[in-house]
Amino acid sequence: MDKGSFKVKVGLAEMLKGGVIMDVTTPEQAKIAEDAGAVAVMALERIPADIREHGGIARMSSPSIIKAIQSIVSIPVMAKCRIGHFAEAQILEALEVDFIDESEVLTPADEENHIWKHDFKVPFVCGCRDLGEALRRIGEGAALIRTKGEAGSGNIVEAVRHMRQVQKDVRRLTTLPNDELMAAAKEMGAPFEIVRQVAKTGKLPVPNFAAGGVATPADAALMMQLGAETVFVGSGIFKSEDPADRAKAIVLATTYYNDPEKLAEVSMGLKDAMEGLNIASIPEEERLANRGW
């Protein structure tokens, strides 16, 4: 019996497609997310908007919070570890979280190396801003890729930029003859074999989700229409005035992302979304997307 192989890891990512994964900090929030139709929850100590506001070092959640959330919901429970912090990842694996997010939202533990994710039985998701970054993470063993966007900003502009960039990079690879692929791999800083595979198939070898700035049903629909296969919502739900209703509306918007009438219907009657930040107002050194390479 084969457990923890790459195929088994990607298998769970396949099951999450067409859904919404919600950041939660308490068992109560996890229950609200599950009742709203989330396909998974991300257990965190603080949501990205609060991490941004309060500063300090953001670390893996406390195991007791993760355990409490696991005991209250039946959907998959994910958790974040710091970039390069493989000991946090080992602890999360021992807790049997269903997915580990090696995330730029937490303070990086290693400014040079990411985790060698092939060593783990639990699948990993990692953020990216372009195809080269996505393929480096897949080379290290990530079973799922998401855009970084700009977490905790409530602003979709960076997620759009990153999703379009990945798609553009994939399209370009498919137009290159074999003898230009090595140079493309060099330029992107990506593993050649995976570059060749993407050039041949025209898609990433793992699912590609969107994250970082989704605050409304329309944001979720936008990312799905741009090619995301599922949407992560971080601060957008529990920083809004009406988490339960908004969560449910975003779930429906993700399924009916290309039905404008349905989108209008689910967007009606919602209270205020999170306020959000202009990216230009965030100093370069405080931008979370710049963490990791």
Q: Which residue of 24, 39, 204, 263 would you call a contact of other proteins, by CB under 8 A?
A: 39
Report the nearest approach of other proteins to the CB of residue 93 (Å).
7
Distance separating alpha carbons of residues 191 and 184, to the nearest angstrom? 10
Q: Is 271 annotated as catalytic?
A: no
Q: Which residue of 255, 267, 287, 291 would you call a contact of other proteins, by CB under 8 A?
A: 255
Contacts 24+ apart (CB under 8 A), 217-221: 217/246, 217/249, 217/250, 217/252, 217/253, 217/263, 217/266, 217/267, 217/270, 218/253, 218/263, 218/267, 219/156, 220/20, 220/250, 220/253, 220/254, 220/257, 221/253, 221/254, 221/256, 221/257, 221/258, 221/263
Distance separating alpha carbons of residues 67 and 203, to the nearest angstrom? 36
Only one of the segments 31-39, 101-109, 164-172, 269-277 lies at the binding site for other proteins (rule: CB under 8 A); that segment is 31-39
Distance separating alpha carbons of residues 293 and 104, to the nearest angstrom? 10
Q: Which of residues 62-81 bind other proteins (CB under 8 A)?
A: 74-76
Report the nearest approach of other proteins to the CB of residue 2 (Å).
4
Residue 209 sits in the site that holds other proteins (CB under 8 A): no
Residue 86 sits in the site that holds other proteins (CB under 8 A): no
Residue 34 sits in the site that holds other proteins (CB under 8 A): yes
Chain-centre distance for alpha carbon 95: 20
Q: Which residue of 71, 116, 121, 225 would you call a contact of other proteins, by CB under 8 A?
A: 121
Q: Which CB sits closer to other proteins, 73 or 190?
A: 73
Q: Which residue of 188, 251, 263, 282 would you call a contact of other proteins, by CB under 8 A?
A: 251
Only one of the segments 51-59, 79-87, 117-125, 127-135 lies at the binding site for other proteins (rule: CB under 8 A); that segment is 117-125
Where does residue 90 rank: exposed (0-12), middle (13-18), buried (19+ CB within 10 A)?
Answer: middle
Give me the catalytic one of 9, 80, 148, 248. Answer: 80
Q: Which residue of 24, 30, 40, 190 would you call a contact of other proteins, by CB under 8 A?
A: 40
Q: Which CB sits closer to other proteins, 12 or 277?
A: 12
Residue 98 sits in the site that holds other proteins (CB under 8 A): yes
Q: Which residue of 48, 84, 123, 292 would you call a contact of other proteins, by CB under 8 A?
A: 123
Task: For residue 179, count other CB atoms closer than 10 A to its CB.
Answer: 7
- Which among 39, 42, 38 is positioned nearest to 60, based on CA atoms? 42
Q: Which residue of 96, 111, 187, 193 would you call a contact of other proteins, by CB under 8 A?
A: 96
Distance separating alpha carbons of residues 117 and 144, to the nearest angstrom? 11
Report the nearest approach of other proteins to the CB of residue 70 (Å).
8
Active site residues: 80
- Interface residues toward other proteins, by CB under 8 A: 1-5, 7-8, 11-12, 14-19, 34-35, 37-40, 74-76, 93, 96-99, 121-123, 251-252, 255-256
